[in-house]
C-alpha cells in the first residue's frame, strides 16, 4: 500500500504550494522523521496555519496523544492567556505563543476547568491524523521512530485564512550553525520552571546567568561531553570556560544515575540525600525543588512520595529477610508482619479459548505436558489447563515468569506467601485501598466475622475476561482460528 499511504506523496492541495512557488518547508510540505525516547514529549499546539497533520509510527514503543476537539480550542487559549491563569506574560509577548510548542498544561488542569479532551495511544504501524485547530500534546513511551507531515483539504482553506501567526518564533529557534553553536542560544525552559514557590514564599524570577537578550552560553563537559546552557545548569560566567566539568564528573561519580528515571547520563545535579537527579526531572516533578535556585543545586527530593522512586532502579528497594512489612492477612485485612523466607516461584501465562487469560498458573496446572520435568511449552503452543473448578480448558501458552516470593509471618503465627506488589515496606506510601483495610494486631480477634467462603473467594485465582469479548461469546475452536 505504499502508493496509497506514502506520506511524501499524499497529493493534497498543499502540494500546489511546492509545485507553483518552489517553497519547501521541512515537516510541513515535506516528510519529517522523528526519533523519540522515553519521557520525550510535545507540548500543546496546533499545526502551522492550522493544517491537518498525519503521523505514522514506523517502529518502537508507543506514543500517547492528548487532543482537544477543535470546537474547544479557544477555551484552551483563554485558559493559557488569562491574566490570573498560567502564562499571561507569554501571551503579552506573542499572541500566538502556543505555537512555540513550549506550553504544557496537565490533563488534570483541563478537567478541573471543564475543557474536554481525549487520550489515545498510537502503536507501531498505526497512523494518527490531527484536524485543523485541534490542539494536541503527548509523550513517547520509549525509543521509537515516527514520520509526519502536514496536508490540506478544501475544508482547510477557511481555517488557513483565519490562522493567527507567531512573528517571534523564528527568533527563538536555535541557530545550529558552527559559529552560533559556540556562542549563545535561548534556553527552551523558561526561568520560572526552575523556581519553586508556595503560599509562604515570594516568587523570584531573577535569572543571574542569563544575558540581557535572554540567551545563555552553551558549555560542554570536558570529561563526559554533556552539553548544557550555563543558565539551565547554574554555571556562573567565571566558571563557564573551556575545561569546565559537570557536577557528576567533578565528584568522579560516573556510575551514578538519576534516582527519578531510568535514563542514563545527562545533566545531573546532586540531591540532598547524596543521590543524583536530572535537572529536567527536578523541573518536571512538582515535589522536587532546587535549594539554591541560581546554582540549580542541591535538589531537595525529601517531599517526593517513595512510590515515585520506583521509576528508577535505585528506588525499587529490595526486601530482606527479617524485615518488617505490611501484608494481607487471610481475613482480608492488612497487618504488620515479618519476612521469614525468600523464595522464587514460576508462574505460567496463557490465553484461554474463550478470550480470558491468566498469568498465575502453576506448572502442574498444565495437564497436557509434564512441565515440572520438561519445562514450559513453547510460546504459542496449544495446552490443556486444569482450572480451580476441576475442569480442563483449552488455551494457548504465552510465557513463563519467575517471581520473587516473600513468606511473611503475622503476629498470630500464621504464614502466607506474597508477591512484591502485595507487600509494602513501612516507609512506602500505601494505596487508598490498603489504608482503608489497615489494622493492628489486636484486631485479629475479630477474624471470625469473615466467613470461610469469603476467604476462599478472596484468594482464588481469577481468569480475566478480555474486554473486547465481554459482549460476545465465540466458540473456542473459532476463536483459536481467528487468533492464529
In the residue annotation, 34 being an active-site residue is answered as yes
- Taken in order 440, 444, 446, 452, is the CA torsion positive or negative? positive
Determine the Cα–Cα distance for residues 386 and 393; give it in Å rounded to an integer: 6
Catalytic site residue from 18, 45, 64, 428: 45
Beta strands in 304-333 (DSSP E): 324-328
Total residue length of the chain = 484
Q: Calculate the CA dihedral of residues 142, 146, 149, 153 and round it to 10 degrees.
A: -90
Catalytic site residue from 100, 136, 229, 329: 136
In the residue annotation, 47 being an active-site residue is answered as yes
- Per DSSP, 30 falls in state B
- What grid cell was written down for 169? 518564533
Determine the Cα–Cα distance for residues 11 and 229; give it in Å rounded to an integer: 42
Please report the DSSP string for 396-435 in residue order: EEEEEEEEEEEEEE-TTS-EEEEEGGG-EETTSPPPHHHH
Catalytic site residue from 18, 32, 34, 394: 34
Please report the DSSP string for 194-247 in residue order: G----TTS------TTS-TTS-EEEEE-TTT--EEEHHHHT--TTT-STT---H
**Closest by alpha carbon to 320, among 404, 220, 237, 215?**
404
Helix (H, G, I), strand (E, B) or coil at 255: coil
- What grid cell was written down for 402? 519467575
**Closest by alpha carbon to 89, among 182, 180, 205, 177?**
205
Find out whether 111 and 137 touch, Cβ atoms under 8 Å: no
In the residue annotation, 159 being an active-site residue is answered as no
Determine the Cα–Cα distance for residues 335 and 329; give it in Å rounded to an integer: 7
Determine the Cα–Cα distance for residues 371 and 349; give it in Å rounded to an integer: 13
**Closest by alpha carbon to 385, among 363, 403, 414, 412?**
363
In the residue annotation, 45 being an active-site residue is answered as yes
Helix (H, G, I), strand (E, B) or coil at 83: coil
Catalytic site residue from 67, 148, 216, 247: 148
**Closest by alpha carbon to 75, among 43, 47, 112?**
112
Determine the Cα–Cα distance for residues 479 and 484; give it in Å rounded to an integer: 9
Which residues are registered as beta bridge partners of 137? 66
Determine the Cα–Cα distance for residues 209 and 231; give it in Å rounded to an integer: 5
Active site residues: 27, 34, 45, 47, 136, 148
Amino acid at each position: 500500500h505504499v502508493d496509497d499511504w506514502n506520506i511524501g506523496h499524499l497529493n493534497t492541495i498543499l502540494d500546489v504550494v511546492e509545485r507553483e512557488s518552489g517553497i519547501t518547508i521541512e515537516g510541513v510540505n515535506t516528510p519529517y522523521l522523528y526519533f523519540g525516547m522515553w519521557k520525550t514529549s510535545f507540548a500543546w499546539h496546533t499545526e502551522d496555519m492550522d493544517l491537518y497533520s498525519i503521523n505514522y509510527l514506523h517502529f518502537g514503543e508507543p506514543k500517547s496523544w492528548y487532543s482537544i476537539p477543535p470546537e474547544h480550542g479557544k477555551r484552551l487559549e483563554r485558559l493559557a492567556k488569562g491574566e490570573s491563569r498560567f502564562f499571561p506574560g507569554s501571551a503579552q509577548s506573542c499572541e500566538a505563543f502556543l505555537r512555540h510548542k513550549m506550553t504544557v498544561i496537565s490533563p488534570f488542569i483541563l478537567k478541573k476547568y471543564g475543557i474536554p479532551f481525549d487520550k489515545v495511544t498510537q502503536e507501531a504501524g498505526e497512523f494518527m491524523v490531527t484536524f485543523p485547530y485541534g490542539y494536541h500534546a503527548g509523550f513517547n513511551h520509549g525509543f521509537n521512530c515516527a514520520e509526519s507531515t502536514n496536508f490540506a483539504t478544501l475544508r482547510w482553506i477557511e481555517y488557513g485564512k483565519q490562522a493567527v501567526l507567531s512573528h517571534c518564533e523564528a527568533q527563538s529557534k536555535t541557530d545550529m550553525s558552527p559559529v552560533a553553536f559556540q556562542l549563545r542560544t535561548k534556553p527552551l525552559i523558561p526561568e520560572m520552571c526552575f523556581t519553586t514557590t508556595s503560599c509562604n514564599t515570594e516568587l523570584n524570577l531573577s535569572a543571574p546567568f542569563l544575558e540581557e537578550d535572554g540567551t545563555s552560553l552553551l558549555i560542554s563537559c570536558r570529561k563526559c561531553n554533556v552539553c548544557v546552557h550555563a543558565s539551565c545548569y547554574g554555571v556562573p560566567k567565571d566558571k563557564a570556560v573551556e575545561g569546565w566539568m559537570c557536577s557528576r564528573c567533578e565528584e568522579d561519580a560516573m556510575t551514578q544515575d538519576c534516582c527519578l528515571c531510568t535514563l542514563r547520563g545527562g545533566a545531573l545535579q546532586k540531591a540532598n540525600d547524596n543521590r543524583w537527579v536530572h535537572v529536567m526531572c527536578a523541573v518536571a516533578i512538582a515535589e522536587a525543588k532546587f535549594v539554591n535556585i541560581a546554582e540549580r543545586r542541591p535538589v531537595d527530593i525529601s517531599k517526593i512520595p517513595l512510590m515515585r522512586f520506583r521509576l528508577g532502579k535505585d528506588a525499587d528497594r529490595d526486601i530482606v529477610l527479617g524485615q518488617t512489612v505490611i501484608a494481607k492477612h487471610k481475613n482480608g485485612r492488612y497487618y504488620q508482619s515479618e519476612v521469614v523466607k525468600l523464595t522464587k516461584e514460576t508462574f505460567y501465562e496463557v490465553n484461554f479459548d474463550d478470550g480470558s487469560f491468566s498469568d498465575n498458573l502453576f506448572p502442574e496446572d498444565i495437564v497436557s505436558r509434564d512441565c515440572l520435568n520438561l519445562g514450559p511449552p513453547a510460546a504459542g503452543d496449544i495446552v490443556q489447563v486444569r482450572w480451580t473448578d476441576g475442569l480442563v480448558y483449552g488455551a494457548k501458552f504465552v510465557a513463563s515468569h519467575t517471581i520473587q516470593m516473600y513468606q511473611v509471618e503475622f503476629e498470630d503465627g500464621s504464614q502466607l506467601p506474597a508477591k512484591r506488589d502485595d507487600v509494602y515496606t513501612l516507609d512506602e506510601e500505601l494505596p487508598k485501598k490498603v489504608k482503608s483495610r489497615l489494622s493492628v494486631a489486636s484486631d485479629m480477634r475479630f477474624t471470625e466475622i469473615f466467613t470461610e467462603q469469603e476467604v476462599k473467594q478472596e484468594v482464588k485465582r481469577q481468569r480475566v475476561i478480555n474486554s473486547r469479548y465481554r459482549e460476545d461469546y465465540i466458540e473456542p475452536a473459532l476463536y483459536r482460528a481467528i487468533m492464529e
